[in-house]
Amino acid sequence: MSPPAIINPSVLSADFAELGKACRDAMDWKSDWLHLDVMDGHFVPNMTFGAPVIGKLRKHVDRPKEAGGLGTFDCHMMIAEPMRWASIFRDAGADMYCFHYEAAVTSVGAKDPADTQTTEKCTPKNLIRYIHELGMQAGIAIKPKTGVDVLWDILAAEDEKERPDMVLIMTVEPGFGGQKFMASELHKVTALREKYPNLNIEVDGGLAEGTIDQAAEAGANVIVAGSAVFGAKDPAHVIQVLRDAVDKRRGGEKL
């Protein structure tokens, strides 16, 4: 059976002037995690917030989930140099540091924003190892134009410290909330779920009541939803619908 449903609202669609309230609301609505979209204006054509904001939000979010809080701050790092910023986000309170494969393979392995000397290349496996050494969980994301094939070698790393805890399949082009769900990406989820029954597989972009069944059927269990939750009249109901769809697939019931 695939892992349990993890419903993960993205604050990208919340009122940025009231992010503390958005976190408290997400807890009240019985979310499992909180998804934080970090955008740098280089890797994607948009900017959001960085570690200082995440550090402040931590104060609004109780742990653990069992006590009514949110267990995991899931930081979706849409940034060009993911190795450079990992320790800073760890210090701010990130639990899951989910970087983009495309950014990792085109950046250097400097571990400090001010380091201009390092020229050694970053690799996904080295970055995953480093994220684990920092005490965070490691996620790896791929954009719609990146094939799922790039992930096989990383998932099969001999050393478990170099294997990701979660894979994120983007179902929109990263950069903006409220875009149309790309069902064309779900074959990647199906392929991953076939090979890795226990892996946390996250989908992000355009997930809502009308699209969740396809994603759940493909095998996704970590569900990001921004506009569908923060734009809803009854966000707690939407979260329940998303959870039920994943749980039905887990129970073997055909959707």
Which segments are annotated as binding site? Answer: 10, 35, 37, 76, 175-178, 204, 206, 226-227
Contact letters for ligand 5RP, residues 51-80 (x by CB under 6 A): -------------------------x----
Q: Is the peptide bond before 124 cis (omega within 30 degrees of 0)?
A: no
228 sits near ligand 5RP (criterion: CB under 6 A): yes
CA-CA distance, 58 to 23, in Å (whole number)?
9
Among 37, 74, 162, 202, binds Co ion (CB under 5 A): 37
Strands 137-142 and 96-100, sheet pairing: parallel
Instruction: Establish whether 25 is a catalytic residue.
Output: no
On whether the CB atoms of residues 125 and 84 are closer than 8 A, the answer is no
Among 74, 95, 162, 204, binds ligand 5RP (CB under 6 A): 204
Q: 47: which DSSP letter?
A: B
Binding part of the chain for ligand 5RP, among 47-55, 96-104, 146-154, 220-228 by CB under 6 A, reads: 220-228
Q: In what order do the strands lie in the sheet with 137-142?
A: 6-9, 222-225, 200-204, 166-170, 137-142, 96-100, 72-78, 33-39
Closest residue to bound ligand 5RP by CB: 226
CA angle 157, 108, 11 (to 5 degrees): 80
Among 61, 75, 76, 101, binds Co ion (CB under 5 A): 76
Q: 134: which DSSP letter?
A: T
The set of residues, in sequence order, having a beta carbon less than 8 Å from that of 167 and lying 6+ positions away, is 139, 140, 141, 142, 151, 155, 192, 199, 200, 201, 202
224 sits near ligand 5RP (criterion: CB under 6 A): yes
Instruction: Establish whether 159 is a catalytic residue.
Output: no
- Rounded to a whole number of angstroms, the distance between the first and last alpha carbons of the chain is 16
Between 176 and 196, CB nearer to ligand 5RP: 176
Structure tokens at 213: 């069944």
Angle, in degrees to the nearest 10, between helices 124-133 and 82-92: 20
Among 6, 12, 57, 238, binds ligand 5RP (CB under 6 A): 12
Binding part of the chain for ligand 5RP, among 19-27, 99-107, 119-127, 221-229 by CB under 6 A, reads: 221-229
Site for ligand 5RP in 151-180 (CB under 6 A): 172, 174-179
Closest residue to bound Co ion by CB: 76
Contact letters for Co ion, residues 175-214 (x by CB under 5 A): -----------------------------x----------
Between 93 and 226, CB nearer to ligand 5RP: 226
Which residues form the catalytic set? 37, 204
